[in-house]
Amino acid sequence: MYYCSNYALAVAFCVVTMFCWGSWGNTQKLAGKTWRYELFYWDYVIGVVLFAIASGLTVGSWGGGEWSFITNLKQASAGNLGSAFLGGIVFNAANILLAAAISIAGMSVAFPVGIGLALVLGVVVNYVGAPKGDPVMLFGGVALIVAAILCNAAAYRLKSGNSGKSGDSGKSGVGKGILLSVVCGVLMAFFYRFIARTMDMDFAAAAPKPGMMTPYSAFFVFTLGIFASNFVFNAIAMRHPVSGEPITEKEYFKGGFPIHLVGVLGGLIWGLGNGINLVAAGKAGSAISYGLGQGATLVSALWGILVWREFKGAPKNAGVLNLAMFVLFLIGLGLIIAAGQ
């Protein structure tokens, strides 16, 4: 089994996570030109599961022995299997809300508000569960990220007030986009701890502690929770959409191979980010690993503003607020990195 051997490499892995978690939304934006986000999301989940299986059977099985993927899964306790599975359910509920918020408000709002909030709450939850790192620097970085979220939300309101619409119409669209993002953020803050608590990070040992899982087996069980819960959560989203008319599963089978491939690609991108983030947690600690990964908010905001032009036509004050958001996020992430030194 491959594992992360030093802190610098763990930080590098978390930076890759940041770009993966902040970039998968581009596939939804791309598919969204002709494809509802609810239909896209089925393929996204398939992509996540495929990546977990592939990584487990390859790098998760290198060297064989007690740490290998299949062997480790067989000895995992029911409690740990259940915790990782529950983490997948919690994540999926949050991520469907995030996808809905992207469809209404765009990446440059849904990610900074939703995932930014998840970063703040998630760092606290994971630090309490497994304290690691300088708390002053860690929570100082979190405080700056809170300020960045507030700047982004204010910029969104200026933009919406200027255009009179935000994917829906007027103030109702503004409120719906931010509300979905906030609920997403609260739920997203808790999923990581359900996985982290199941993993044995003492990779120098001859075998994992009895009942504990490796990052690869925990990730796989986590994706099973995502897949199973999708038949409930996404079915509800399709029949009670946040915008547009209700749709049925029959619509999914009307899509061609290229449009399905876009969704699977989105899942593969997110899966890569999550997989290496769990591996990095052994050296960085779950609070720092999670916090850096959720710096994806910065990446997604850049995509939304610079590529998808989601703030086109907004007043100049909105641009100033977004610039302040980027600066505060960068300094906050820097403090989180320094906290683990």
CA distance 247 to 151: 36
What integer is the mean pLDDT of 55-75? 96
pLDDT over threshold 90, residue 228: yes
pLDDT over threshold 90, residue 235: yes
Q: What is the signed CA dihedral for 323, 326, 329, 335, rounded to 10 degrees?
A: -100
pLDDT band at 109 (very low <50, low <70, confident <90, very high): confident
Please tell me which residue, 298 or 57, carries the higher pLDDT value: 57
Whole-model pTM over 0.85: yes
Q: 269-289 pLDDT, tens per residue?
A: 999 999 999 999 999 989 899
Among residues 188, 160, 189, 163, which one has the least CA distance to residue 176?
A: 160
The predicted pLDDT at position 310 comes to 86
The predicted pLDDT at position 167 comes to 43
pLDDT over threshold 60, residue 327: yes
pLDDT band at 203 (very low <50, low <70, confident <90, very high): confident
The predicted pLDDT at position 171 comes to 53
What residue has token string 């749709």?
247
Classify residue 309 by burial, with Cβ atoms within 10 Å: 0-12, 13-18, 19+. exposed
CA distance 200 to 279: 11
pLDDT over threshold 60, residue 293: yes
Mean pLDDT of the chain: 91
The predicted pLDDT at position 168 comes to 42
pLDDT band at 165 (very low <50, low <70, confident <90, very high): very low
CA distance 238 to 317: 37
The predicted pLDDT at position 166 comes to 42
What residue has token string 């939300």?
153
Boundaries of every domain in the chain: 7-339
127-141, 153-167, 201-215, 271-285: least confidently modelled range: 153-167
Task: Give the rounded percent of residues in the chain with a pLDDT score beyond 90.
Answer: 71
Among residues 183, 165, 196, which one has the least CA distance to residue 277?
A: 196
The predicted pLDDT at position 130 comes to 86
Query: How far from 244 is each of 26, 174, 238, 271, 281, CA to CA, in Å?
Result: 21, 16, 10, 29, 40
The predicted pLDDT at position 1 comes to 93
What integer is the mean pLDDT of 84-105? 94
Instruction: Return the top range by mean pLDDT from 67-71, 110-114, 127-131, 243-247.
Output: 67-71
The predicted pLDDT at position 174 comes to 60
CA distance 307 to 314: 15
